[in-house]
Structure 1
Amino acid sequence: MLSTRCASRAALRVPHPPRLCRNISSKQRPQIRAATHPYAQRRQQHFVRSIATVTALWATATAWQWFNGDKFFREVHAEEPPQEQELSFEKPRRQAVSEEDNRNILSSQHLQVQKSWENPGVYAWGSNTGKVVAPDSQESFIKTPRRIPFFDGVLLRDIKLDRNFAAAIDEKGDLLQWGTAFSKDTTQPTPTLKGRNLTSLAISRDRIIALSASGTVYSIPVSQEEQKNGPKPASTSWIPFWGSSNNISYRIRTPENLGWNERVTSISSGLEHALMLTSSGRLFSFASGTENFPSKGQLGIPRLTWKTRPSGTFDIPHEVTTLKGFPIQHIATGDYHSLVNDVNGRAFGFGDNSAGQLGFDFNPEAMFIDAPSLLPTQKLYSGTAQQACVTKVFAGGNTSFLTIEATKPVASTRDSTRVQADTWAFGFGLTGQLGNGRWIHNQSTPIKVPAFSGLYEYDENTNSVIPIRLAHVSVGASHAAGIMDNVASVAVSGKSKKLTENDTNWGRDILFWGNNEFYQLGTGKRKNEPTPTYIQPLDQAAEEERAASVLSWGRQKGEKGMHRFQISPRAKVKVNGRTVDLEQRVECGRGVTAVYSAV
């Protein structure tokens, strides 16, 4: 066994000739033996064969490329090498044919203001299931602003919209109504209450509250059938023994115990209740719907229920005596809650607080507050040395807004105080209607809206920096629109002198936010917006015509301009050959929105 193993070792060893080993040291001999080992020889042969194979494949590929050109390699590569783009130079702007044409080319905002003066009317969008935003259309949604042809060239005093009915007051003070809840057979706005010189409107679930120039408050049913068949009050006349019956049913709800020369100046309504503000700062409330009596404290009368109401009609007005001594300046109503502020900058709330819409902490054992309660607005500025003054209140659905001016003494030779204008929101915000960029179910503590807070601009007229206030907020059931009181220009109105061709008009910024389930934000997309956002100009045809006539610097081919809608401020302009005091207003309803020309 041992001899066999030794024989095998001997067979593996290759003998060297004596002359090769004569001059080699003992350290180099093992390396030589390893190099001449049969395994090493096989590895060397394998390496040579690999090199030969690769060389053959390369030669074959080269020949194939030579024979078929670059087709093979073009198919193998995923992308072609980038080609140099041809430089495109800006084309010269179209030459203006007049000064006004030059202003339209220079500014999209100027064009919007001019079009609102030249073509007054109503733009509406959102849900159309009730034939409100497009009475002559079968579409369920109107995704972007669209004109209602009936109101082309018509000026309005006010307009209010719900999903199934709408009401407006024309320039003469007559009431117009439309929508399926008014009449399923009528496809155009129809005059109803006429000859009352109405000035403003409010709507509940099934009734319209209208205010006349004399301070008379009317409560009119929405349904045309009820208007025809309901009781009609007898009208009076200055001619003895001359009287006639009105052609529609309505009730007068003006408070009876008004003082000398005191009249109702403002109205607001929720789904079941309404508020009335008088010229003396007194506040009255009454039931504005017929389906349910207010039961969540929104009337502001403690312990007032259906069972405890006084004798007489169920919708008799009640004075909110708790607020005596606090002259009220502004009023606002949501679906089931109320907000007011007085002349001294204090805010009060009463009614439903289930979503924190009164600004008080949520209490599951007390879901509503039936007496006006003071909001602790000064706490919002604790530690800042600023004094808070509530200037306006707004409400709708289950959401509320406050505008506050916070003043702080500063060491300045020009101004003794600095004013900061802020907007605060509270209540239900699960669909973004709080406007603070968040989705919140219950926001009982007022939270600041960044888009409308702490803003300043330079006023060239006074050569000073001024705060940008919030002029108005229209709050619908779940969305809202805010108009900023930024410096506007209506210098080019036909009477101006010493103007150049480069002087232009511009309006006020308007932003929309909240629920967009029915495309009521006007963005053209069905996406909720928790942050106030701009929309495109209302008159898209005029905007596209302008864009086609001018090429902006740096704009690529096919790129659209980012022009935003600006609402026109009040100005004296010529309409149909007569001078009128005209402005654009916005109105948010229940899933619908409208912008109209108002006098």
Structure 2
Amino acid sequence: MLSTKCLSRATLRTPHTPQTCRNIASRSLRPRVRTATHPYAQRRQQHFVRSVVAVGALWTTATAWQWCSGESLIRDVHAEEPPEEAALEFEAPRRQPTSSDDNRNIISSQHLQVVRSWENPGVYTWGSNVGRVVAPDSDDKYIKTPRRIRFFDGKLLRDIKLDRNFGAAIDEKGDLLQWGTAFSQDVREPTKTLTGQGLISLAISRDRIIALSSNGAVYSIPVSQAEQQEGPKPASMSWIPFWRSSNNISYRTRTPENLAWSERVTDISSGLEHALMLTSSGRVFSFASGTQDFPSKGQLGIPGLTWDSRPAGAFDVLHEITTLKGFPVKKIATGDYHSLVCDSEGRAFTFGDNTSGQLGFPFNSEAQFVDAPSLLPTQKLYPGQMGKVTGVFAGGNTSFLAVEATKGGKTTADTWAFGFGLTGQLGVGRWVHTQADPVKVPAFSGLFEWDEAKHAAIPIRLHTISVGANHAAAVLDNVASVAVSGRSRKLTDNDTNWGRDILFWGNNEFYQIGSGKRNNLATPTYIQPLDQAAEQERAASAAGYGKQLRENDMHRFQITPRNKVKVNGRTVEIEQKVECGRGCTAVYSAV
């Protein structure tokens, strides 16, 4: 009978297995006995009640505190409203060009940069302004992005050199201009000093300016205006017979006296304490270019020459580097305390300080400098090939070589760096304290491009490197176009000008790279166009967004190569040049 009840209940509820039915039947036969509650169970029940009461009290207290101190948190709890649908924005039509040149300006930033460099010649500067050099009319400590010096607007220069505390430039007429706190604390704009000498190029030491004239004369001028006015002023010959007049500033003439007929000085370069000069016959002379310290690290290239062993006479007497006789030198370069030269056969020589490997030789603690020109073993750089050094560049404690190697009729152009590179000034993508062995700079090595005129791939050579105290800029000799004219029937409205690539790298402590940021760069990089106002207007017109500028509309700065153009109603041949100084940089319109 129990089994029947079990089966009937199972049928009404859920199906059970026979074993389950037996368990139910067994449980139903057990007597149900009511027993008293165990003391342990009572304690558990009391503990549970106390816990519930405690939690409730805590919740009530927290709710009251939240209401008093941050009631907005409770009051603002509500369902979020659904976001409004964004209105569709249609791209505005591009501004219609008013002429062929206007169309080129809109479609090409590079064309606009070339045209503006011709229409608005001048000087852009940036970097350290502690000496009021990059912005003479401003007291800002740094100029983070390129800014024009208003004094030079519309003017052409022959050369410019910048230090953190003084600047020097040669105008189109060949006169020297100076400015900065080291020149004068009171002068707030470039001022003419040495005039009428037909100057063409400059070099600067720690406290003097070395200037070269078109006839090969070399002058050494004090940086300080007070010293120029108070120092001895050499007499000069007048065009009137037997009439001698005195110059209005103090300076020294440093032209070699034993030059051959028709031989003249063609190039000058200076470090902090020494200077080199190159003659048209390939001879090299050196002399002390500063007055604070006599060159003592072998950078003059005269073995055994010290302050005590120097010849009688002035401290800055000239010395011909006779070790280089028989090697017609074509290029010279100087760092702070070292020198480089290369000859017509593609050989390179270095001398001076080598504490950072800037001479290209391993550092020797017992002989930290080399006082005689030493041949660099550049043949090791190109085993089985013909390598030829075509240019030398130096600044601070860093050196660069431009080398062309030929194999199987194919020429490759490379750039090699060595020396100090802890702040990235080697440009090799690494931070190196001492780099004695020349290492290839990838950004300027093994590059080729297609030349439409020659219908062939040609190597992209290095045009020049301007090396500052601890940063540098390189201009590539890539194919450029500055011949586009709206009056030519062979050109379409879409043909544009473009310039040469220019890249910056190295120390950026004073914003001297021009990127607007302060981080050092170990890899050469482009910067934005110098004339940002014109670039924004062009990009906005091309994008069709009124004055709104999109980031992908921005372009890189390209420097304008030499070309004949009209400036202020006259035809002149000009180009843009870059100059990396000591903590600052300049780009100027050069004749």
Question: TM bucket by the smaller chain?
Answer: 0.7 to 0.9
1:92 Cα deviation after fit: 2.3
Indicate the SS of the match to 2:472. strand
Q: Which residue of 2 aligns with 1:260?
A: 261
Q: Which residue of 1 aligns with 2:98?
A: 97
Supply the distance in 1 between the matched residues of 2:290 and 2:586 (Cα, whole angstroms): 24
State the Cα deviation string for residues 310-349 of structure 1 (Å, max 9, x = none): 1111101101111111110100000000011111111110
Supply the distance in 2 between the matched residues of 1:557 and 1:143 (Cα, whole angstroms): 21
Instruction: Letter of the 1:218 partner, please give it.
Output: Y
Structure 2: tracts of 5 or more residues without a match: 9-15, 33-73
Instruction: Letter of the 2:397 partner, please give it.
Output: N
Instruction: Letter of the 1:308 partner, please give it.
Output: S
Q: Which residue of 2 aligns with 1:299?
A: 300
Aligned positions of 1:434-583 closer than 5 A: 434-492=426-484, 498-551=490-543, 558-559=550-551, 561-583=553-575
1:486 Cα deviation after fit: 0.5
Aligned positions of 1:172-251 closer than 5 A: 172-251=173-252
Instruction: Letter of the 1:17 partner, please give it.
Output: L
1:396 Cα deviation after fit: 0.3
1:548 Cα deviation after fit: 2.1
Contact 2:205 2:274 in 1 (8 A): yes
Supply the distance in 2 between the matched residues of 1:561 and 1:38 (Cα, whole angstroms): 92
Contact 2:354 2:361 in 1 (8 A): yes
Q: Which residue of 1 aligns with 2:397?
A: 398
Q: Which residue of 1 aligns with 2:280?
A: 279
Indicate the SS of the match to 1:550. helix
In the alignment, is residue 377 of structure 1 matched against residue 362 of structure 2? no
Q: Which residue of 2 aligns with 1:592?
A: 584
Supply the distance in 1 between the matched residues of 2:423 and 2:18 (Cα, whole angstroms): 91
Aligned positions of 1:414-429 closer than 5 A: 417-429=409-421
Q: Which residue of 2 aligns with 1:17?
A: 2
Contact 1:493 1:573 in 2 (8 A): no
1:88 Cα deviation after fit: 4.2
Supply the distance in 2 between the matched residues of 1:124 and 1:197 (Cα, whole angstroms): 25
Instruction: Letter of the 1:121 partner, please give it.
Output: G
TM-score (norm 1): 0.86
Q: Which residue of 1 aligns with 2:149?
A: 148
Instruction: Letter of the 1:295 partner, please give it.
Output: S
Change (3 A) 1:388 1:34: farther
Supply the distance in 1 between the matched residues of 2:569 and 2:177 (Cα, whole angstroms): 25
Supply the distance in 2 between the matched residues of 1:495 and 1:590 (Cα, whole angstroms): 44
1:164 Cα deviation after fit: 0.2
1:499 Cα deviation after fit: 2.2
Contact 1:157 1:598 in 2 (8 A): yes
1:467 Cα deviation after fit: 0.5
Q: Which residue of 2 aligns with 1:62?
A: none
Supply the distance in 1 between the matched residues of 2:27 and 2:361 (Cα, whole angstroms): 94
Supply the distance in 2 between the matched residues of 1:514 and 1:343 (Cα, whole angstroms): 30
Change (3 A) 1:302 1:494: farther
Q: Which residue of 1 aligns with 2:44?
A: none
State the Cα deviation string for residues 272-321 of structure 1 (Å, max 9, x = none): 00000000001110000000000000000001000111111110110111
Supply the distance in 1 between the matched residues of 2:87 and 2:315 (Cα, whole angstroms): 78
Change (3 A) 1:343 1:34: farther
Instruction: Letter of the 1:133 partner, please give it.
Output: V
Number of residue pairs the alignment of both structures matches: 540
% identical aligned pairs: 72
Q: Which residue of 2 aligns with 1:124?
A: 125
Supply the distance in 2 between the matched residues of 1:590 and 1:22 (Cα, whole angstroms): 104
Supply the distance in 2 between the matched residues of 1:341 and 1:492 (Cα, whole angstroms): 37
Contact 1:267 1:274 in 2 (8 A): yes
Moved more, 26-35 or 250-259: 26-35
Instruction: Letter of the 2:421 partner, please give it.
Output: G
Supply the distance in 2 between the matched residues of 1:38 and 1:175 (Cα, whole angstroms): 123
Supply the distance in 1 between the matched residues of 2:78 and 2:422 (Cα, whole angstroms): 53
Change (3 A) 1:459 1:76: farther
1:558 Cα deviation after fit: 4.8
Contact 2:179 2:189 in 1 (8 A): yes
Contact 2:486 2:493 in 1 (8 A): no
Contact 1:493 1:572 in 2 (8 A): no
Supply the distance in 2 between the matched residues of 1:263 and 1:312 (Cα, whole angstroms): 23
Supply the distance in 2 between the matched residues of 1:226 and 1:494 (Cα, whole angstroms): 53
Contact 2:203 2:269 in 1 (8 A): yes
Instruction: Letter of the 1:579 partner, please give it.
Output: T
Contact 1:494 1:573 in 2 (8 A): no
Instruction: Letter of the 2:228 partner, please give it.
Output: Q
Indicate the SS of the match to 1:110. helix
Aligned positions of 1:269-418 closer than 5 A: 269-382=270-383, 385-409=384-408, 417-418=409-410
Instruction: Letter of the 1:436 partner, please give it.
Output: V
1:31 Cα deviation after fit: 4.4
Supply the distance in 1 between the matched residues of 2:569 and 2:203 (Cα, whole angstroms): 32
State the Cα deviation string for residues 358-417 of structure 1 (Å, max 9, x = none): 1111111111100101111121223xx3221111000000111111111111xxxxxxx1
Change (3 A) 1:99 1:525: same
Instruction: Letter of the 1:404 partner, please give it.
Output: V
Change (3 A) 1:94 1:318: same
Instruction: Letter of the 2:398 partner, please give it.
Output: T
Supply the distance in 2 between the matched residues of 1:275 and 1:91 (Cα, whole angstroms): 60
Supply the distance in 2 between the matched residues of 1:167 and 1:485 (Cα, whole angstroms): 27
Indicate the SS of the match to 2:533. helix
Structure 1: tracts of 5 or more residues without a match: 1-15, 40-71, 410-416
TM-score (norm 2): 0.87
1:483 Cα deviation after fit: 0.5
State the Cα deviation string for residues 440-479 of structure 1 (Å, max 9, x = none): 1111111111111111100001111001111010000010
Contact 1:174 1:196 in 2 (8 A): yes
